[in-house]
Amino acid sequence: MISDMNPEGIVGEYSESIIQLYEIGPRKVLVTNNEVPYPDGRLIVSRTDTKGIITHVNRSFVEMSGYSEEELVGAPHSILRHPDMPRAAFKDLWDTITEGRIWQGYVKNLRKDGGFYWVKATVIPNIRKGRIVGYTSVRRKPDRRRVEECIPLYASMKKKEQEGSQ
């Protein structure tokens, strides 16, 4: 399960948003402006079942997300969903991987402490004996210039999504 974020764990000034999660419903998230730089030389790796429930995380994932392994395994991957990310990005991700193809994109992730970090993510379906049995996401350090291009792009996508839903 996935609960609202707790103000006690937040480092620094924060603002509140409500995000709508697929098949879960609303979640209150608390976000700050603290960006945590991606650690050099590391890959942040997680695996999920076919529904997007986390089944495995590596040490770099635990360190960057701020959650413990126990909190992560069994939780939906949207536990990292940042309110600045447009819904369309994740729709594209799920449309691609459920077809058995690889998805790649830049993602802004939300930490347990309200801070955020940018990654270049590649998600691959785990195909065993011809069936998709889960997914693996491997994140690496992004080129800052690509991130700077995504910031206004994602903001305008979000704006359109909000206008569309009114």
Ligand X SMILES: Cc1cc2nc3c(=O)[nH]c(=O)nc-3n(C[C@H](O)[C@H](O)[C@H](O)COP(=O)(O)O)c2cc1C
Q: Which residues contribute to the site for other proteins (CB under 8 A)?
A: 38, 40-43, 45, 47, 58, 60, 102, 104, 120, 122-124, 126, 128, 136-138, 140-145
Choose the contact partner of 77 out of ligand X, other proteins, none; CB within 5 to 8 A by kind. Answer: ligand X
Say how far apart CA 72 and CA 68 lie, in whole Å: 6
Burial of 127 (0-12, 13-18, 19+ CB in 10 A): exposed
Residue from the set 29, 135, 150, 154 that interacts with ligand X by CB under 6 A: 135
Instruction: Tell the smallest beta-carbon distance from residue 24 to ligand X (Å).
Output: 6
Q: Decide whether 34 or 58 has the Cβ nearer to other proteins.
A: 58
Closest CA to 125 of 100, 105, 103: 100
111 binds ligand X (CB under 6 A): no
Report the alpha-carbon angle 42-46-52, nearest 5. 150
Choose the contact partner of 163 out of ligand X, other proteins, none; CB within 5 to 8 A by kind. Answer: none
- Beta pairing partners, 17: 29
Whole-number Cα distances in Å, 140 to 3, 41, 116, 124: 28, 8, 15, 14
Choose the contact partner of 21 out of ligand X, other proteins, none; CB within 5 to 8 A by kind. Answer: ligand X
Whole-number Cα distances in Å, 95 to 9, 46, 89, 108, 131: 34, 19, 10, 19, 16
Residue from the set 38, 77, 114, 150 that interacts with ligand X by CB under 6 A: 77
Stretch that binds ligand X, among 9-17, 33-41, 87-95, 153-161 (CB under 6 A): 87-95
Residues that bind ligand X (CB under 6 A): 21-22, 46, 48, 52, 77-78, 80-81, 85, 87, 90, 93, 107, 109, 123, 135, 137
